[in-house]
Structure 1
Amino acid sequence: MKKRKFGVSCLVLLIFMCLIACKKEKSSSAETDEIISPTTGTRTQFTLDSIFLYAQQVYLWSDALPNYGDFNPRQKYANVSPDLTAFRKELFDISQFKIDKATGSAYEFPIYTGSAKYSYLEAGRINGGATAGVISSSPALLTSTGLTSGDKNIAYLALGAFPKLSRCQAILDQTFTELAATNPKYIVVDLRSNTGGYVETAEYIANLIVPTSLNGKVMYTEMFNAKMQAGQARILKYQPYIDAAGKTVVYNGRNATMADVDYTEKGNTYHFNKKGNLTTIQGVYFIVSGKTASASELLISCLKPYFNVKLIGEKTYGKPVGFFAINIDQYSVYLSSFLIRNGAGWSDYFTGMPVDIAVSSLASPDLGNPEESCLKAAINDLNGLKTTAKAGLSHTTLMQVNPLSGTTTLETATGFGMQENRLRLKNK
């Protein structure tokens, strides 16, 4: 029991130190008129303060947030209980400040009452740092096959998720070697049930598809807010840096923290580096739905500047942002922290990527069957045949738990965001 009390005391002390640090930083800045959070209070009050203070420095759209005094989280959520509900409500309110001028709605418009489209908070601490989030349990590869239509060789593969690359690289390499043997000119990538996962895996698949001529070309950039890029998110020194192998790293004679990461545009720009021996692809089709989100959309986006890319099915979810876990007391917070831009600088798919050929998909499609509606539409298009557009749902739906109420509702797929586990430390 004593050990447990000691652990709780340490957590509270960490939050307290974090708030003191923020106070000192702000008092030495030009923003001397801003009201700073109190240095005394309850554990709940410190957690409410910390969520907001982290958002002020780490949140992608922190420029839209008010100062602490105007937001006043302690007073704003004083009568909200239990604590978990109060913290989630605070995070939701933070997410609604930045408005997309194109739509007139918040970038993180609610997917249902009280739940932001991207940012979220969970009970329980993550072994944080550069690895973050909950990933689908679906396998990376659902099925693959080679098809022939007339004189056209077509590669087809269905990807169910993007788990850590170490878990799926072997099967991906084998699959693409087999597909390359047929010298396909076109590839159909089925992402209709893929809600995303690790960026490294989506990037690896892109490198398996592209020709060697794209080596060195920009694949995508992860764009953090101005404060992060300038190395001014000092609050992150209270978050340990964990590398892709799940290990702590010594940096300048001490354990590295997330404040030591290079958040600059240059440091987070990734380039094509061809993998495998498939070199014949000239056109790419993606089968998509409202479940297609996050790293799945990244795969689509990064190929768009370099291929004739066509989307078939239903409009995608729309998630061009990613994050890493932030531990606050006994909770893990996922604030939208970076924006994905492809090689052409494009990132504007917050409301989803529209399809070129609209087709309603069955709940359990016969994947890889050339007569299946979406795959047939791709083959028809290759042969110059039109597919009659069928009115479908704007988003594929699935059962989902409302994090505020705990009740199960039928809602649009959200996935769990874009997981980046390769954030790099600044050069010493």
Structure 2
Amino acid sequence: MQRYIKLYITLLSLILTATSACKKAQVAVDEGDEIISPTTGTRSEFTLDSIFLYAKQVYLWNDVLPSYAEFNPRQKYAGVGSDITTFRKELFDISQLKINAATGTPYELPVYFENPKYSNLQVGKRVAGSTAGITSPNTAVLANKVIISGNIPVAYLALASFPSISNSKVALDQAFSGFAAAKPTVMVIDLRSNGGGYLETAEYVADLIVPTSLNGKVMYREVFNPSMQNGTAKILKHQPYLDANGKTVIYNGRMATMADVDYTIGGNTYTFHKKGTLQTIQSVYFIISGNTASASEMLISSLKPYFEVKLIGEKTYGKPVGFFGINIDQYSVYLSSFLIQNANGWSGYFTGMQPDVAVKGTVDPVLGDPNESCLSAALQLINGAKKQSINHTATTSRITACNIELSMKNEAESIMVENRLRLKK
């Protein structure tokens, strides 16, 4: 990896000066006289170079990426179209190289046209390594109530998304305070419209659910590629490290960069720390759909090793990966950067989590209504009904998945961003 450092310095400085004139090509050469990348060119050419070179070190599946010379982005994407079209085409091609052996298809097989399932590129700079890219609403709690079903108190909570913890904590605390008073042993969490958001908020919800006895137990781990873990992703020194307030940080007598972050598994293992007073939950039932993704799937996965967990509805989106923003010229690039694993090391839901009970629901469900198809199926299961005998016929002629018709086409809405990356000690 050291052979790329000289190139990066030249490349990034040229991008910052926004060079747009084409010059006679020169090349950066390593000790073995291997051509790495031109050191002159147009602004667009340097952006093409940067997308590939960042992926070469940061991308979760960088092991399958060829050399720069073999990939040759400048030639490969010459004349493709507008800049943004060209850059997104390059990112798409990079994302299709790693094949999932279980399916025989790429991990980032697109859900529509040529758009990677996970990675994406947006116009406009973001704060590298922070809370960039979240467009989910500021309201986390859509509905909450305690339902008495067959003499069993059931805590019901519908979550729209996982906004920042500052926008979520009060509403979540109030909901769980009400639950604690009823001492339910069963909880139904409605995630049918929850496309994800901030990991710290999903983690806070998990901490509200679990009993004190789970304190210190592993909730989940973020697993980066080997280059990131062993500190050889040197290109990240061109990305500033900012604190939670967007301020630069002094590290070893200089401004910290994203290359100074601890990307080891140990440094990115998150454990339970009980919040609130609810101590009685033993089983958790999730209402899910194809819109259930990212941080909401992490919540499900994290609870599986410790609770009886059941899924009702339709298969989830399938997104066990997360990101941090990388600024390249005037763009923000979100490369799939880490894998989410639960305490058992499980992360195998790239194609989605299958429901235990498949249910069709109404287009506009009344959240918290025991007669609504998905919640009714959950309550029947809680009360001992066998899966085959559950009555989940929709109450209207307009039927969809247990789903509130949210589009997954805008991946910015379901980015699982980690905003708590920590510097090496």
Is TM-score (shorter-chain normalized) higher than 0.5?
yes
CA distance in structure 1 between the aligned counterparts of 2:328 and 2:159, rounded to whole angstroms:
34
The 8 Å contact of residues 249 and 256 in structure 2, kept in 1 or not, is answered as yes
Post-superposition shift, 1:130? 2.8
Kept after mapping to 2: 8 A contact 1:290/1:412: no
Q: Provide structure 1 residue ranges, at least 5 long, that are not aligned to the other structure.
A: 1-8, 17-22, 401-409
**Which residue of the partner structure matches residue 162 of structure 1?**
162
Q: Which residue of 1 aligns with 2:421?
A: 423
Aligned pair count reads: 400
Residues 117-142 of structure 1: CA deviation (Å, up to 9, x unaligned)? 00000111112233321231251000
Q: Name the residue aligned to 2:360.
A: 360
Report what 1:403 is aligned to: none
**Aligned equivalents of 2:35 and 2:17: distance in 1?**
21
1:181 aligns with 2:181: yes
- Deviations 1:284-330 (CA, angstroms, capped at 9, x unpaired): 00000000000000000000000000000111000000001000001
Alpha-carbon distance between aligned partners in 2 of 1:88 and 1:295, rounded to the nearest angstrom = 24
Structure 2 CA distance for aligned equivalents of residues 174 and 337 of structure 1:
34
Question: Residue type of the partner of 1:416?
Answer: S
Q: Is the 8 A contact 2:312 2:378 kept in 1?
A: yes
- Alpha-carbon separation, structure 2, partners of 1:413 and 1:87: 16
Q: Does 1:52 align with 2:52?
A: yes
1-structure distance, mates of 2:400, 2:69: 44
**Paired residue for 1:263?**
263
Distance 2:406 2:272 in 1: 37
TM score, norm. by length of structure 1: 0.89
SS at match of 1:219: strand
Q: More deviation in 384-393 or 197-206?
A: 384-393
Amino acid at match of 1:171: A
Q: CA deviation at 1:255?
A: 1.4
Distance 1:14-1:337 versus aligned 2 partners, 3 A rule = farther
What does 1:15-414 correspond to in 2, within 5 Å? Answer: 27=30, 32=32, 34-137=34-137, 139-385=139-385, 386-388=389-391, 398=405
Q: Equivalents in 1 of 2:34, 2:13: separation in Å?
A: 28
- Measured at CA, do residues 360 and 160 of structure 1 come closer, stay the same or move farther in structure 2, by a change above 3 Å? same
Mark the CA change 1:390 to 1:86 in structure 2 (over 3 Å): closer, same or farther.
farther
Q: What amino acid is aligned across from residue 276 of structure 1 in structure 2?
A: G
Offset from partner CA, 1:10-39 (integer Å, 9 cap, x none): 6624799xxxxxx98x936xxx47530111
State the superposition RMSD in angstroms.
Answer: 2.2
Deviation at 1:215, TM superposition (A): 0.7
Confirm or deny: 8 A CA contact 1:34 1:68 kept in the other structure: no
Task: Note closer, same or farther for the CA distance 1:395–1:156 as it changes in structure 2 (3 Å cut).
Answer: closer
Is residue 293–residue 414 contact of structure 1 (8 Å, CA) maintained in 2?
no
CA–CA distance in 2 between the matches of 1:330 and 1:265? 32
TM-fit CA distance, 1:363: 2.0
Q: Would you say 1:12 and 2:15 are equivalent positions?
A: yes
Q: CA deviation at 1:45?
A: 0.5
**Counterpart residue identity of residue 310, structure 1:** K
Unaligned runs of 5+ in 2: 1-11, 20-26
Find the counterpart in structure 2 of residue 20 from structure 1. Answer: none
Compared CA separation, residues 87 and 415, structure 1 to 2 (3 A): same
Question: In structure 2, do the counterparts of structure 1 residues 15 and 210 end up closer, same or farther at CA, with 3 Å as the change threshold?
Answer: farther
CA distance in 1 between partners of 2:112 and 2:332 (Å): 21
Q: What is the letter of the counterpart of residue 91 of structure 1?
A: L
Which string of whole-angstrom CA distances, capped at 9 and with x for unpartnered residues, describes residues 203-241 of structure 1?
000000001111111000000000000001100001011
Please give the secondary structure, in 1, of the residue aligned with 2:360: coil
Q: TM-score, normalised by structure 2?
A: 0.89
Task: Return the letter of the residue paired with 1:98.
Answer: K
Distance (Å, rounded) in 2 between the aligned partners of 1:165 and 1:259: 26
SS at match of 2:414: coil
Could you give the per-residue CA deviations for residues 358-412 of structure 1, whole angstroms, max 9, x where no partner exists? 1112221100011111111111011112314669867958575xxxxxxxxx969
Cα distance, 1:149 vs structure 2: 1.4
**Contact 2:154-2:185 at 8 Å conserved across structures:** yes
Q: Measured at CA, do residues 11 and 279 of structure 1 come closer, stay the same or move farther in structure 2, by a change above 3 Å? A: farther
Amino acid at match of 1:129: G
Structure 2 counterpart SS, 1:153: strand
- The answer (yes or no) to whether the contact 2:16–2:329 under 8 Å persists in 1 is no
**Aligned partner of 1:255: which letter?**
M
Percent of residue pairs identical: 62
2: CA distance between counterparts of 1:276 and 1:182?
14
Instruction: Say which SS state the counterpart of residue 418 (structure 1) adopts.
Output: coil
